Structure 1
């Protein structure tokens, strides 16, 4: 006796007991039967087919219309069974993809600095929050053998796993730089050649990179199509745009980048950010850049980390707790010299 006949006989016995006894045991047996057919991967239409055959055997004199109604139900369940199996296949694929994304997101998190290097005359604060599991934003903070600080903030145009792979490439390339920081123009040109050779043609990376010379108190910086930052003059209580012209990384292998410089007096700071900050919005409007600088000024008396944390908190609340794009905000401030 094959498995189908065994199922048919088992179902016949259960159905007969239910129709004639209608007790709790027969309902319990039906539940156990359901578990068994689920384990054996029996399709819904097969169950209906078994039911029809058993009914016809137990009650051969059923009206023709009733028997035909079961045939109709069988056709319906065949369609349902096919759709259900397709749904299960898609659901399993979705679970596999979500699992892969979770792994990639965990891996992506390890690409970010685990701690910010400490320098006597600098205060650095940074916050990065992805809009979804995978982020397109990246930042890098490094101290070289001379104690100079290099900071980078980048936005990878492209999401998901490809962005995570691109991020790993950027981190590896930056970690492989010489022990002494390269000038921003040279670093961007080096990264551009690496990225252009290794990413898909539809992807590119915007970046702002800056290095701070604590002997001269000068910030040298360059940009590759990235969102302009800000320079805050403490004495004048004034924000000005920190703009650096340059084509995004990965578009043209032979791209050249200019280098800019900004002297930082005590209390002055620079703000580097991703477009997820400046493009914060509600249903009605986008955030104005002047509104952003006013918000930063509101917390300028705090530490750099407290500034970025408070700005993020306020903008998150302003947007109704709905982050629409990856958010990264970095502040580098020259501290006041301690009197002896």
Structure 2
């Protein structure tokens, strides 16, 4: 510590030992700002305090004097730990800013518009558990057909977001909504297999709805099976379709199936953030999810997905553990 600082501190300490006034304390506070500006360490401050006190009080007890030696050693370690902590906090703040920026870029890059189709009501909600979304929903449409992709990366964070960029790139390369689902999955699988790390896998469901025939054709790459609700029988059935996860091998044969909608029928497409919701008692059963959906079957598709999200959020005590994506196609 410079001699000038030592002199100033001794004067402040001497005045305080004599008077103990608020003014003396105020001078000490102002002096501490100078110490911070000059990057004076805590142990240096204690060392000059000890030396100043021994000059002010010549008969200072040896035990008191030695106690400052211990405090200096403590402060050396404390100062190092504090610097490491501050460095870590700074890194975390920088990382948070980068994640927020990346999240904004992801939202802009992967943004999709819900199409307005005659005779079909569409609802969609996608809520990330963290800053970056590992789920993805994408729409393609023309005059009579609308296609929807619902994908889920096995993983989170920036790597998952980059994988979703590959999905977006592949979807943009398709010619239109009339492309067969098995062709769509084949194209996306080849892109993912070439471009994504072997440790990253993606499940994906793709379906296309023809408004003229009221027919929904679909295929799946290891994704959660959608739920089809038949209004006439008031029953749910799973739309099963076998298919390997995207990115495992380049050549995969996918199954393609179709179902015809009657009025008020709807299909619920989702990610495992919906089917694997957990409460304090354990996983929320599929029947509970179906009961929640059925309770609002007369609402619009968008009102349905928003209601389901809110109810499952309540059942989880508002602790979302995974990305949540839900899409509903409803014939009207």
Q: Using the TM superposition, give the Cα deviation of residue 112 of structure 1 relative to its aligned residue in structure 2, in angstroms.
A: 4.4
Q: Using the TM superposition, give the Cα deviation of residue 161 of structure 1 relative to its aligned residue in structure 2, in angstroms.
A: 1.2
Taking the aligned partners of 2:154 and 2:51, their CA distance within structure 1 comes to 60
> Residues 279-313 of structure 1, C-alpha deviation per residue, up to 9 Å, x if partnerless?
11211132222222222111111111111111112
Match of 2:207 among 200, 204, 210: 210
Taking the aligned partners of 2:40 and 2:161, their CA distance within structure 1 comes to 41
**SS of 2:283's equivalent?**
coil
Cα distance change of structure 1 residues 43 and 213 upon mapping to structure 2, 3 Å threshold: same
Q: Using the TM superposition, give the Cα deviation of residue 133 of structure 1 relative to its aligned residue in structure 2, in angstroms.
A: 2.2
Q: Contact 1:111 / 1:167 at 8 angstroms: preserved in 2?
A: no
Match of 2:281 among 277, 280, 284: 284
Q: Using the TM superposition, give the Cα deviation of residue 153 of structure 1 relative to its aligned residue in structure 2, in angstroms.
A: 0.8
**SS of 1:261's equivalent?**
strand
Gaps of 5+ in 1: 336-340
> Residues 131-182 of structure 1, C-alpha deviation per residue, up to 9 Å, x if partnerless?
22222111112213x4410101111111111111222222222123224542
Q: Using the TM superposition, give the Cα deviation of residue 252 of structure 1 relative to its aligned residue in structure 2, in angstroms.
A: 1.4
> Residues 30-83 of structure 1, C-alpha deviation per residue, up to 9 Å, x if partnerless?
111112212222221121122122223333432222221111110111111111
Asked if residue 184 in structure 1 is aligned to residue 181 in structure 2, the reply is: yes
Q: Using the TM superposition, give the Cα deviation of residue 219 of structure 1 relative to its aligned residue in structure 2, in angstroms.
A: 1.1
TM-score by length of 1: 0.92
Q: Using the TM superposition, give the Cα deviation of residue 186 of structure 1 relative to its aligned residue in structure 2, in angstroms.
A: 1.1
Q: Structure 2 matches for 1:235-246, cutoff 5 A?
A: 235-246=232-243
**SS of 1:116's equivalent?**
coil
Match of 1:61 among 59, 77, 98: 59
Match of 1:163 in 2: 160
Q: Contact 1:128 / 1:328 at 8 angstroms: preserved in 2?
A: yes
TM-score by length of 2: 0.95
**SS of 1:123's equivalent?**
strand
Q: Using the TM superposition, give the Cα deviation of residue 266 of structure 1 relative to its aligned residue in structure 2, in angstroms.
A: 2.1
Match of 1:226 among 219, 223, 227: 223
Q: Contact 2:210 / 2:216 at 8 angstroms: preserved in 1?
A: yes
Match of 1:25 in 2: 23
**How many corresponding residue pairs?**
332
**SS of 1:244's equivalent?**
coil
Match of 2:48 among 47, 50, 53: 50
**SS of 1:251's equivalent?**
coil
Asked if residue 172 in structure 1 is aligned to residue 169 in structure 2, the reply is: yes
Match of 1:12 in 2: 10
Match of 2:255 in 1: 258
**SS of 1:328's equivalent?**
strand
Taking the aligned partners of 2:318 and 2:145, their CA distance within structure 1 comes to 37
Match of 2:138 in 1: 140
Q: Contact 1:113 / 1:141 at 8 angstroms: preserved in 2?
A: no
Match of 1:309 in 2: 306
Q: Contact 1:135 / 1:160 at 8 angstroms: preserved in 2?
A: yes
Taking the aligned partners of 2:255 and 2:270, their CA distance within structure 1 comes to 19
> Residues 81-138 of structure 1, C-alpha deviation per residue, up to 9 Å, x if partnerless?
1111111111111111111111122222224445311011110001112222222111
Taking the aligned partners of 2:11 and 2:241, their CA distance within structure 1 comes to 81
- RMSD value, Cα: 1.7
